Amino acid sequence: MLKNKTIERYLQDFSCIIITGASSGIGRELLSRIEYSGTAAVVFNLSRTSPENISKAIKFTHLNCDLSQPTHIESVVMDLKKLMPANGRILLINNSGFGAYGEFPKPGIDHTLRMIDVNSRAPVHLTALLWEDIKSRGGHVVNVASLAGYQPTPLMATYAATKAFLLNWSIALDSEGREFGVRCTAICPGPVSTNFSKAAGFESSTGMGGQTVQECVEESLQAMARQRPQLITGWKNRLLGFLSARLSKPLAAQIGLRMIRKLKLDRFVKKA
Ligand SMILES: NC(=O)c1ccc[n+]([C@@H]2O[C@H](COP(=O)([O-])OP(=O)(O)OC[C@H]3O[C@@H](n4cnc5c(N)ncnc54)[C@H](OP(=O)(O)O)[C@@H]3O)[C@@H](O)[C@H]2O)c1
């Protein structure tokens, strides 16, 4: 891991760091960078499984939480408020999320509704319950959205819509929060090699390539340190985002459908 003074200084500026979904993928890499930064912050992870091999050098607590359950969110925030240091800036990273592929409502109504809960409802709920603390102490809310949030995406219609919600909500909240010293950043990765494909119902990697988790997180942390309202990670993804934003949404959806069909992703879908 390369030293990066801007990122380390940024991470050292908080007394409390709360991340969701650091048990795997992008969240776990963000946590590794937090471990490596030498921050004195108290660090919390919220997810259903605990991250492994955490460095003893940070003050870390895993709090079990299924973010699809509003009651879990309420009770975990009560625990957080007892455990959080009383002063200092707060960094909240809403990273947990998962996808789905297939003609609506595949892979199933339950999966689809849980995805809305984890990807869109939970970040709003968690942030709202912590908002007064973040406002009074100063802080940064980071939302891991997706490149898919920039256009309507057939065959991933609900997933992309959850991320469009998160992206727009995050940018709007950034405008509201500035006057209180609170900033928000929406991170929008394209394909990144993590457990994401498996959780989205694919048997094996879809071969879509993309960024390594390290590349994605390095760029994300740079954008967070610069308090940018949004970032699409990876230059190819930025180009795609730029081009699709210039098309009408129905046209972008039609072109998207043709492109996704060409990828023949059905080959990789787990058999029921
Ligand atoms: N990888 C990509 O290609 C890609 C592209 C664009 C955006 N993203 C976004 O990046 C974020 C991280 O995904 P990833 O790629 O790192 O995938 P991942 O390796 O599958 O990690 C997903 C994380 O979300 C957590 N999570 C899922 N359901 C949860 C629930 N009900 N309650 C609490 N936590 C839950 C998981 O924790 P537990 O299982 O322990 O609960 C896990 O730590 C997601 O929001 C995803 O939409 C990923």
Q: Residue 166's domain is classified under what CATH number?
A: 3.40.50.720
Which pLDDT score is estimated for 265?
Answer: 86
Nearest-angstrom CA–CA distance, 130 and 74: 10
Residue 149 pLDDT > 70, yes or no? yes
**DSSP per-residue letters across 167-188:** HHHHHHHHHHHGGGTEEEEEEE
Q: Mean per-residue pLDDT for 129-154?
A: 98
Judge if the beta carbon of residue 24 lies within 6 A of ligand 1.
Answer: yes
Which pLDDT score is estimated for 267?
Answer: 84
H helix intervals, 37-156:
70-83, 109-116, 122-137
Under 8 Å between Cβ of 67 and 22 = no
In the structure, what pLDDT confidence band is assigned to residue 266 with cuts at 50, 70 and 90? confident
Kindly list the distances between the CA atom of residue 196 and the CA atoms of 43, 58, 95, 97, 218, in Å, as whole numbers in the listed order: 24, 27, 12, 9, 19
Residue 162 pLDDT > 90, yes or no? yes
Ligand 1, residue 97: give the atom nearest the CA.
45
Q: Mean per-residue pLDDT for 78-92?
A: 98
Give the tokens for residue 4: 């990066």
Judge if the beta carbon of residue 97 lies within 6 A of ligand 1.
Answer: yes
pLDDT, tens digit, for every residue of 58-74?
999 999 999 999 999 99
Angle at 113 between CA 253 and CA 149, to 5 degrees: 35
State the residue range of the domain holding 144.
Answer: 5-268
Nearest-angstrom CA–CA distance, 163 and 175: 19
pLDDT, tens digit, for every residue of 220-251?
999 999 999 999 999 999 999 999 999 999 99
Residue 264 pLDDT > 90, yes or no? no
pLDDT, tens digit, for every residue of 195-204?
998 888 888 6
Judge if the beta carbon of residue 100 lies within 6 A of ligand 1.
Answer: no
Give the tokens for residue 197: 């494909």
The total number of structural domains in the chain stands at 1
DSSP structure class, residue 202: B
Judge if the beta carbon of residue 21 lies within 6 A of ligand 1.
Answer: yes
Ligand 1, residue 72: give the atom nearest the CA.
32
Residue 110 pLDDT > 90, yes or no? yes
Provide the residue type at 78 as one letter.
M
Which pLDDT score is estimated for 123?
Answer: 99
Going by C-alpha positions, the residue among 265, 124, 258 that lies closest to residue 191 is 265
